Amino acid sequence: MSEKEFLNIVLPFKDKLYRLALQYLISKDSAEDATQEIIYKLWKNKTKISSYKNVEAFAMTMTKNYCLDQLKSKNSNNLKLVHSNYTDANSSLDKNMEVNDSVNIIKQLINGLPKKQRIIIQLRDVEQYTFEEIGKILGLKQTAIRVALSRARKTIREKITEKHNYGIN
C-alpha cells in the first residue's frame, strides 16, 4: 500500500480519533499524541489494513484502548466532551452569545453524566456513529448502548427543562 492510499483511508477520520482521545484524556496535547500514535501504529501495519472490514471502527477501538491504557498509567479518570465549533457568518452577536451559552450549558450537563453515558453521547450524537459501530468500539451490546443513551438524553432533557422553567410556576 502506498503512502497516498494509506492517507486516503486514514485522513477522513483522523479528527474523530482526536475527538475521542480528547474525550478520554482531556489534555489537547495528550489527545494529539494519542492520535499520532494510533496513526503511526496503523502505518506500521498498513499491509494488514485492507483486511479489516471497517478501518475506522478498528482505529476508534485502538484509540479507546490506547487512551484507557494512558489513563491507567496516570491513575486519572477525568473526561471532557469536545464540541465541534459551529460558526454562521450571518449571525448576530446576541445570537452567538445565546448559542455559546447553550453549548456551555449542554457541556456542563453532559460532563455531569456518568462516564459511560458521556462517551456514548460523544460517539453517537457528536461523531454520528451507528449503534453497531459504538458496540464494536466500546465492547458493549447495542441494547446496553441504547439504554445508556436514552438515560443520558432523558437526564439532559430534564435538566434543561428544569433550567428553562426555573421560577415559572
- Per residue in 111-135, pLDDT tens? 888 989 989 998 888 888 889 989 9
63 belongs to a structural domain: yes
Distance, in Å, from the CA atom of 123 to the CA atom of 130, rounded to the nearest integer, reads 9
Residue 144 has pLDDT above 90, yes or no: yes
| pLDDT single digits (tens) 84-95 | 444 555 557 777
CATH value at residue 105 = 1.10.10.10
Question: 77 in helix, strand or coil?
Answer: coil
Short-list 91, 89, 109, CA closest to 99: 91
Are 148 and 107 contained in the same domain? yes
Average pLDDT over residues 58-69: 89
Domain boundary among the residues 74, 104, 126 is at 74
81 pLDDT tier (thresholds 50, 70, 90): very low
Distance, in Å, from the CA atom of 60 to the CA atom of 74, rounded to the nearest integer, reads 21
Residue 96 has pLDDT above 80, yes or no: no
CA 118 to chain centre: 9
Number of independent structural domains in the chain: 2
Q: Where are the beta strands (DSSP E) in the chain?
A: none
Residue 45 has pLDDT above 60, yes or no: yes
Contact, 119 vs 79, CB < 8 A?
Answer: yes
Distance, in Å, from the CA atom of 165 to the CA atom of 158, rounded to the nearest integer, reads 10
Domain of 32?
3-74
Question: Residue 11 has what DSSP assignment?
Answer: G
* Residue-level pLDDT at 140: 92
CATH value at residue 37 = 1.10.1740
| pLDDT single digits (tens) 9-19 | 888 888 999 98
Are 63 and 120 contained in the same domain? no
Regarding pTM above 0.75, the answer is no
83 belongs to a structural domain: no
Distance, in Å, from the CA atom of 8 to the CA atom of 122, rounded to the nearest integer, reads 25
More confident residue, 68 or 76: 68
Are 8 and 65 contained in the same domain? yes
